[in-house]
Structure 1
Amino acid sequence: MANKSNLPKHPYFATFLVLVAVIILCSLGVWQLQRAQQKEVRLQQIELRKSNNPLALEDVLGQQDKRDLPIRFTGKLMVNKPFLLDNRIENGQVGFHVLVPASTDLGVVLVNLGWIKSGQYRDKLPKFDLPAYSQVFYGTSAVPTVNPMVTETAAMSDNWPILLQSIDLSLISTFIDADLLPMVLQLDPEHPIGFSRNWVAVVMAPEKHYAYAVQWFALAIACVIIYIVALRKRKIRKDV
């Protein structure tokens, strides 16, 4: 049986570990709350911008924040240079987003024409026909971000469409030998050309972030409770 002389006065190392764990868990909870607030602000901004009339291309390019803006311009698809964005899921099915550059008076804009189902075999990419004449495009502007965790495997090739793992505008510019404007048009679902378009501006809703925040704070509280219970048991053992 342990006695007073065998037990240190206070478990400093355990206290330190618990303190570090609680700080980390609370920080994660606060981060999730901040993410939820950011998502709420953006969703409000999207709803506000939806109520505005479509902007001309030059007006969008002049905005500091080019995301989620209604836009309308005239252009011509470069139908001989299509791209397929891999691993896009819709209604539980795997497919691609079809990306095609469109030439305009102000430069080349990458247009996301929507989702298309992948074929039975991964080595056979889907084929499609697109109109090559000049037309009016309208939809919502988006600004892609490059995920550092995604390793791009696309290489220069004469075989089109080219498969992409992420939307990297600088990389795509090298494929088409033309500079792309710093945005992507997500084609409106009502536009007569293209494929399935069910755009989601915010992948994770604010409610999810709040739920994660509650989980992190609950874990922090659980750590403190377990620590207090362990201290009480230790005190009882010392007093025996």
Structure 2
Amino acid sequence: MRRILVPLIFGIVGCAVLVSLGLWQLRRLEWKEAILAEIEARIAAEPLALEAALGAPDYTPVTLTGRIEGDPLRFIYSGSEEDLVVAVQTEEGRRIMVDLGLAPMGAAAALPEGPLTIAGNLDTPVGKGTPAPMVQNPWAARSPEGMAEVLGTGPVFVVAREVAPPLTFVAPLPVTTEGIANNHLGYAIQWFGIALVWAGMSVYLIRRTLRSKD
């Protein structure tokens, strides 16, 4: 019994630690799913007028009416498409950034000068896409401060979901929860799998110790 005491304790403690890590990841999974559900509910909520939503958290739905002013920032997504971020002067006199969505390369020249009604969600820009041309957009990733400086806007950033009248050559990229990582179930399975392997190795070691005794 003394000979198997060490591997037995080693196996029990190791399995307990690994299983506890798996259970912790399951609790993290519940926490993340609750956050995602809250974000999805916020995205789908009734939109507010932009002025009423200022200071609200990301993903808050808003509506606004305004005109595109100046040249857009163009972020390359593929060899044929680019994401357009423009400055919009609202009817209330506020100048903000709006991500219109994907357009064919060079289509920015066709952006309308008339008023647009935009429904979308507040968001914080993240680094995705390559600015083009680099001479006009000298930063390597989407910096809210950098874009606001170049566009001459305030820090407010809206991702368009619908534009009226519609821009037939632009496909909106509305905010969703798809880009938010939620890998906790996979991590839990990994920890439980390692615990199973650990248990198997411990049983093998104990049986081998018993056989060597005989």
- The amino acid of 2:51's aligned partner reads E
- Name the residue aligned to 2:178: 203
- Name the residue aligned to 2:87: 101
- Name the residue aligned to 2:73: 83
> Equivalent residue of 1:78, what SS?
strand
**1:35/1:191 CA distance change after superposition, 3 Å:** farther
- Name the residue aligned to 1:184: 158
Are the aligned partners of 1:110 and 1:180 in contact in 2 as well (CA < 8 Å)? Answer: yes
Percent of aligned positions with the same letter in both sequences? 13
Are the aligned partners of 1:139 and 1:188 in contact in 2 as well (CA < 8 Å)? Answer: yes
Give me the TM-score of the superposition, normalised by structure 2.
0.73
Counterpart check, 1:31 vs 2:28: yes
Counterpart check, 1:57 vs 2:50: yes
Counterpart check, 1:238 vs 2:212: no
- Name the residue aligned to 2:6: 10
- Name the residue aligned to 1:167: 142
- The amino acid of 1:191's aligned partner reads P
Give a deviation string over 1:193-215, Cα, whole Å, max 9, x none.
Answer: 3611252422158xx94xx4443
Query: What is the rounded CA distance, in whole Å, between the counterparts of 1:65 and 1:46 in structure 2?
Result: 11
Are the aligned partners of 2:118 and 2:164 in contact in 1 as well (CA < 8 Å)? Answer: no
Shift of 1:69: 1.4
Gaps of 5+ in 2: none
- The amino acid of 1:237's aligned partner reads R
**1:141/1:222 CA distance change after superposition, 3 Å:** closer
- The amino acid of 2:120's aligned partner reads T
Are the aligned partners of 1:86 and 1:165 in contact in 2 as well (CA < 8 Å)? Answer: no
Shift of 1:67: 2.4
> Equivalent residue of 2:110, what SS?
coil
> Equivalent residue of 2:156, what SS?
strand
Shift of 1:143: 1.3
- The amino acid of 1:85's aligned partner reads F
Are the aligned partners of 2:120 and 2:161 in contact in 1 as well (CA < 8 Å)? Answer: yes
> Equivalent residue of 2:158, what SS?
strand
**For 2:97, which of 98, 103, 110 is the aligned residue?**
110
Shift of 1:99: 0.9
Are the aligned partners of 1:85 and 1:163 in contact in 2 as well (CA < 8 Å)? Answer: no
- Name the residue aligned to 1:121: none
Query: What is the rounded CA distance, in whole Å, between the counterparts of 1:96 and 1:23 in structure 2?
Result: 46
Between the two proteins, the alignment pairs up a number of residues equal to 208
Are the aligned partners of 1:77 and 1:132 in contact in 2 as well (CA < 8 Å)? Answer: yes
Query: What is the rounded CA distance, in whole Å, between the counterparts of 1:227 and 1:186 in structure 2?
Result: 51
Superposed CA RMSD: 3.8
